[in-house]
Structure 1
């Protein structure tokens, strides 16, 4: 066993507090990583607060992990001590089902093992994530990180990055298309950057004029204020694709008329929405969902970011400041992702 320091949620209502626990011993195919940075995702808060009704306590959140390899198992071939690596939302899957064989481990039909909050098949209890000093992960679920990029700002790419990159790839977003990004937060700001890098005409759809100004600096071509009925009418039937990044309950109906016939709005938030089917029936429009990406696609995303010099816009915090940071995330008071500096924890 390897003693590890972390911060954990002990119940849905308590602040995160220090928590010491054991990581497993290195197996033949395992990689042990000293965590340098861990991004803060809204999913961390949902899980800690048991918003999805599945949480077991105590639990250590964090699935946007960047660090250096400190030890490898004897059968590991892809990594060596000192390598800069990442770990995202998944740490294992069955490897045998059709989804896994198609590099879609996030849809493993026998149940993916999430970085935190999943039943731990080796240690028992639940898996613990990156709000901690180290982690042990099987080689197949470790990602290579380019030294070209600002390392600390790479961390949110492991969730916010792949969550927005994957649907843009799946729906083949690119040049000549008009793409709307709904909501400018941790996910939305990455959606703007990726869609712009892919050559699309990017429209930031927001309720906030100030966020609209920020979006233009991030690469958006236009801003559409969704509370302005005249602006919404002017853009009706003109979008090839909408990426909805809003993380809280909201009404989808105002956005559906923006789509061209047969086009798609992808919803990323795991949250209740209001939808009247009339809007999708007229125009054969599509409402779809997307999760993260598999390991192959996540590595492709990291390589794309290295090629195009894309990272997240971040604010650094210390581990002991996590509860105040969570309060600010809930209020939407961050541009656009917190990253915890774990090196001095």
Structure 2
């Protein structure tokens, strides 16, 4: 299948139009016309080579929403015209204990990311959602509930599941005290989801510049991390903190905010953290943990949860030729929303 996308050809992350071929459908494949594709901060890190060398040319994008245009003969769950989505992975071994436990992201044999990795069968490099079409095996296709607004669904596939999964894992419920560090793409979804679960949510930020955005997303409080007095007063006041900061930082600033047995979960930074002290952990039986997206079953669950609670990410729609401008904003970290590419702006 001939298609077009936007690709990076080197680590300068400058995206340009790119014509390429999608694979012919296998028996269990679904072909999708991509209508909307979200831009994630990890796209920027990946194409920049921040996480290691990349197999350029590379088409990023793992927040994909579209409609089915063709199915393989063995596909039973989808038909032409269905509203569907694809997230951060497109395959796994389907045989190990983790796959059987619906946690394909932790596949013992390695899950296949939506872009930048060898296809499990052919070995060709997967290409992502900044394109007009994608072909994905049926087990990794998700259904978009009718109650959701299609143009605003895409960020749920990464920002949504990345924050929903730890909220579920650490049993956030009515009355839970949740802190969210940072109010970007991940952070604002964390606030919305935790608030819908009944939690008391506080945004933790270096300034109160995003106080209105925090409140409108469902936060009941704003804690300024550069205010030493306020931080001292907030000691031991959270059961769970989601750390969405996507760069190297020091968690010592935040661990004293956890109550006894509280957990800080890192969902933003992939890579090194600054050297930290164990004293706040030891003195409060506190924990620092990590979490990677979620499995397919849980990703469908967050889509359904968002439909039930009328939760939509804050999105700014852009045309494909504005991708590089969006990347420039991501580098500055000055937005509390997600950029979403309207693929109608990209013609073959």
TM-score normalised to structure 1 length = 0.98
CA distance in 1, matches of 2:67, 2:204: 38
Other-structure match for 1:306: 307
Other-structure match for 2:293: 292
Contact 1:26 1:32 in 2 (8 A): yes
Contact 2:173 2:197 in 1 (8 A): yes
Is the partner of 1:91 in helix, strand or coil? Answer: strand
Is the partner of 1:273 in helix, strand or coil? Answer: coil
Deviation at 1:333, TM superposition (A): 3.1
CA distance in 2, matches of 1:227, 1:335: 19
Other-structure match for 1:321: 322
Contact 1:3 1:22 in 2 (8 A): yes
Contact 2:239 2:262 in 1 (8 A): yes
Q: Which moved more, 1:329-338 or 1:102-111?
A: 329-338
Other-structure match for 2:336: 335
Contact 1:7 1:17 in 2 (8 A): yes
Gaps of 5+ in 1: none
Contact 1:242 1:265 in 2 (8 A): yes
CA distance in 2, matches of 1:344, 1:184: 29
Contact 1:315 1:334 in 2 (8 A): no
CA distance in 2, matches of 1:155, 1:204: 23
Deviations 1:248-273 (A, max 9, x none): 11111011111111110001121321
CA distance in 2, matches of 1:235, 1:257: 8
Deviation at 1:125, TM superposition (A): 3.2
Contact 1:34 1:69 in 2 (8 A): yes
CA distance in 2, matches of 1:319, 1:271: 29
CA distance in 1, matches of 2:219, 2:320: 33
CA distance in 2, matches of 1:123, 1:100: 21
Structure 1 pair 246–123 and aligned structure 2 pair: CA distance change class (3 A): same
Deviation at 1:159, TM superposition (A): 0.2
Structure 1 pair 235–335 and aligned structure 2 pair: CA distance change class (3 A): closer
Deviation at 1:123, TM superposition (A): 4.2
Matched residues, number: 344
Structure 1 pair 54–111 and aligned structure 2 pair: CA distance change class (3 A): farther
Other-structure match for 1:233: 232
State the Cα RMSD in Å: 1.0
Other-structure match for 2:272: 272
Contact 1:315 1:335 in 2 (8 A): no
Other-structure match for 1:167: 166
Contact 2:143 2:300 in 1 (8 A): yes
Other-structure match for 2:202: 203
Is the partner of 2:284 in helix, strand or coil? Answer: coil
Deviation at 1:120, TM superposition (A): 1.9
Gaps of 5+ in 2: none
Deviations 1:97-146 (A, max 9, x none): 11111101001110101100111234433100000100000000000001
CA distance in 1, matches of 2:122, 2:2: 13
Deviation at 1:14, TM superposition (A): 5.0
Is the partner of 1:204 in helix, strand or coil? Answer: strand
TM-score normalised to structure 2 length = 0.97
